[in-house]
Chains A and B, each alone.
Chain A
Amino acid sequence: MRSLKFLALLLAVAILITQSGCWSSNEIEDLAVYAGMALDTGEESPEEKTFEQEGGSYSKQNKITATVQIVPLKTGSKDEVKGKTSPYTNITGTGDSILEIFRQFSLRLNKPIIGHHLKIIVISSQLLQQRNIKQVTNFMLRDNDIRPSVKIFLSSGKALEALTIKTPDEVPSFYINDVVQNQFRTSKIMDAVLLTDLDAMMHSKQSFILQNIIQAKKHIEFSGAGIIKGDTGRWIGNLTQEDVECIDWLTNQGDSGTIKTYDEQGNPITYEMKAMKTRIRVESDQDNQLTFQVHVETKGRISEDWDMEGNPALRSYQKEIEKLFKSKLTSMIEHLLSAMQNRYKVDVAKFCQAVRIQKPGLWKEVKSNWDEAFSASKINLDIDLQITDFGSTTK
């Protein structure tokens, strides 16, 4: 009896050790992990053209060009990573289905690509002029490897070029991903739009903005934001850097922000925001004509003043300067408002949130054509700006 029990136990242990494991595991070294993706209008790359001349083609239309940035997972030999080889490989394919393009990469790569570690997606605004953003991001939303935490950017130029920028020893995708962290320094960087946010905004058909990236000589700059119109899902234009800054002022989100203006002599003075609070109150009359009362309250310090005579420590001088900053901020916000209301006729500064929360009944009526209702609305600005500090020098 005892030996039988022992045998059974031995068998159980043997089965446990030999039979357990991962059914469909893949060694990470054998995978091509991509960290960035770029989507452009369908234009075949020179290699692809050559491939096609050699007979390498399949039935497709050239609607979209997808590029992925593959990051090698070489551990160990450090000198290989250093210097000689570039720390990444980009591969580009053209077709009319992103999944199919990706599967096509398997014909050209020695490893299967895998999206677990995708960090950023850059979409060229040109592509979004032709196609609905819902169409081009559909695959990413459905795929089970790509996480909803992926950040989405727009590119004025070719998106794939944003993935070939010159960065010291760094993969461009990670580099772009990290720039977002500088948000605490400047409110010209907007809150990164994640895939999950995109999903929600596309579902509710509201217009929204995506951080725009521009390029010059293999360098990038985050500059302004591209507007995606809610009902068509197309790119309709860009907001300037200062407009993006003002969106932070309006949505009460800024942790940082500066206002630069000039005094009468043309000397620059700069205000550094330390605290802000924005309240939007919605009023409406019988004809559903909306009026927004925007109240911005901010406190901050004079961080730079080129004026030689003035004394920033004096309250009277501060008061004068407060007025200058106030009018500058007003004109900045008004610029944004006119861009939204007159030029593009979209609401991308979340005025809809105020209506949704404060007037839910009214919201139900105006929801379907919110952009028009917003463009027709009146917005009253009221700015309360206080200088509380002048830095470490009095003069």
Chain B
Amino acid sequence: MSASKSFLAQDDKITSSQAALVLNNTMLGAGILTLPRSVSETVKTPDSWLSVLLGGLVVMLVVILMVKLSLRFPGKTVYQYTQIVIGRYPGILWCLLLVLYYIAIAGFEIRAMSEVTMFYLLEGTPIWAITIPFIWVGAYLVRGGINAIARVGQIIFPISLFILIVSYLLSLRLFHLDNLRPVLGNGIFPVIQGLKSTVLVYSGCEVVMTLVAKLEQPKQALKAMLVGISIPAGIYFITIIMVIGGLSVDSAVTSTWPTIDLIRSFEVTGFLFERFEFPLMVIWLMQMFCNYSSFFYHSSLGVSQLFNLPYKSVIFALVPVIFLATMVPKNINEVFMLGDDIGYFSILLFILFPVTLTLVALIRSKGGPQHEKS
């Protein structure tokens, strides 16, 4: 294990398909369970699927910008090149925001996971009994670096995707196309308004700025990252179509966990399972685990690179911090509010990191070809 020598193993690189998968896993988490409600609440018409697609496009533009920025500093993560671009101390300050954001999302994902598990699956189990093992096992995975996370993702994602698709296909019996009509009945305005809440479900795509540094072949970075963002966009799109088509906008808005409620709204007699919410939830737990691990990894990496601390010690130091982040919301309303706040924070980070940083880098001509020479 050469990884134990330094905080960052030199050979801890991933292939472009692994990078795409990590990006995908970083976005696909608990959001899918509440997405139809949160988007429908703002859109209020069946056009929410358009918002999700449009939101995906907007985020893709941001991702392109992030990739371009990262490629100016080959092999360097955002934590390292921010310090080059805007100076050491301001850089650390900016990146701390990013680290905080990752920790908040990691905590939020675990909390949302435990809320839905406690409600439907393990009623009566105390919250710490669900979250603490999750955090510990995550710490163990994160210890292995990005490679381990990517490989676990490679195993889990096909399974969770399969179960999700099977559940959706079975829900077709409830599907009514009329629920999705009319298209653009109230014009384009509601769709634009919905963008606000759809951008939130893509929060976490900031990890692009570290993933690019981990690529074996940085030339494929753009392609890999765009693939990585298209998969969740596609899954979100299918989710909206199935849930709104199956339950109608009115039911999606009133339901706390609309995606689960869609699966709970039918029974399949004579199939392997009669009820699909249980396999879906159990499998999706693994997906949420990958999701959380990715954020855990990125925050640990951030702290260790910002303060030159040993990576593995940072992981253990962050375990209680993440647990605290998980326990901050007092009730389910605060969990959902935290989710919204994270979304708004991500918009701030969009502006701060890719946009401002690129501009400053261009003005001060940091990075790029000259940087490689020096």
What residues of chain A have their CB less than 8 Å away from a CB belonging to chain B? 22-24, 144, 147-149, 194-197, 199-201, 203-204, 353, 356-358, 360-361, 363-364
Instruction: Indicate if the CB atoms of B275 and A203 lie closer than 8 Å.
Output: no
With a CB–CB cut-off of 8 A, which chain A residues contact B267?
A: 147, 149
Instruction: Indicate if the CB atoms of B250 and A356 lie closer than 8 Å.
Output: no
Instruction: Indicate if the CB atoms of A147 and B265 lie closer than 8 Å.
Output: yes
With a CB–CB cut-off of 8 A, which chain B residues contact A148?
A: 261, 264-265
With a CB–CB cut-off of 8 A, which chain B residues contact A147?
A: 264-265, 267, 275
Also in contact, A200 and B247, with CB within 8 A (given A144-B119, A144-B120, A148-B265): yes
| Closest Cβ–Cβ distance, residue A278 to chain B (whole Å) | 13
Cα(A195)–Cα(B129), bound, Å? 32
With a CB–CB cut-off of 8 A, which chain A residues contact B181?
A: 356-357
B4 contacts the other chain (CB 8 A): no
With a CB–CB cut-off of 8 A, which chain B residues contact A361?
A: 185-186
Cα(A203)–Cα(B252), bound, Å? 10
With a CB–CB cut-off of 8 A, which chain A residues contact B255?
A: 196, 199
A-B pairs with lowest CB-CB distance, top 6:
A360-B185, A24-B124, A200-B251, A200-B250, A23-B125, A203-B250
B61 contacts the other chain (CB 8 A): no
Q: Which of B257-272 contact A (CB under 8 A)?
A: 261, 264-267
Instruction: Indicate if the CB atoms of A196 and B251 lie closer than 8 Å.
Output: yes
| Closest Cβ–Cβ distance, residue B320 to chain A (whole Å) | 22
Instruction: Indicate if the CB atoms of A357 and B182 lie closer than 8 Å.
Output: yes
Instruction: Indicate if the CB atoms of B123 and A194 lie closer than 8 Å.
Output: no
> Which of B123, B126, B182 is close to A360, meaning CB atoms less than 8 Å apart?
B182
18 extra interface residue pairs, beta carbon distance < 8 Å, beyond A148-B265, A356-B185: A23-B124, A24-B122, A24-B123, A147-B275, A148-B264, A149-B264, A149-B266, A149-B267, A196-B251, A196-B261, A196-B264, A201-B250, A353-B178, A357-B181, A357-B185, A360-B182, A360-B185, A361-B185
With a CB–CB cut-off of 8 A, which chain B residues contact A201?
A: 250
> Which of A203, A356, A358, A363 is close to B251, meaning CB atoms less than 8 Å apart?
A203
What residues of chain B have their CB less than 8 Å away from a CB belonging to chain A? 45, 119-120, 122-126, 129, 178, 181-182, 185-186, 247-248, 250-251, 253-255, 261, 264-267, 275
Nearest to B185 among chain A residues (CB) is: A360
With a CB–CB cut-off of 8 A, which chain A residues contact B45?
A: 360
With a CB–CB cut-off of 8 A, which chain B residues contact A356?
A: 181-182, 185
With a CB–CB cut-off of 8 A, which chain A residues contact B253?
A: 203
| Closest Cβ–Cβ distance, residue A94 to chain B (whole Å) | 27
A-B contact pairs, 18 of them (CB 8 A): A23-B122, A23-B124, A23-B125, A144-B120, A147-B267, A147-B275, A195-B265, A196-B265, A199-B254, A200-B248, A200-B251, A203-B250, A356-B181, A357-B178, A357-B181, A357-B185, A360-B45, A364-B186
Nearest to A363 among chain B residues (CB) is: B185
Cα(A181)–Cα(B330), bound, Å? 46
| Closest Cβ–Cβ distance, residue B99 to chain A (whole Å) | 32
Cα(A204)–Cα(B253), bound, Å? 10
With a CB–CB cut-off of 8 A, which chain A residues contact B275?
A: 147
Cα(A356)–Cα(B254), bound, Å? 20
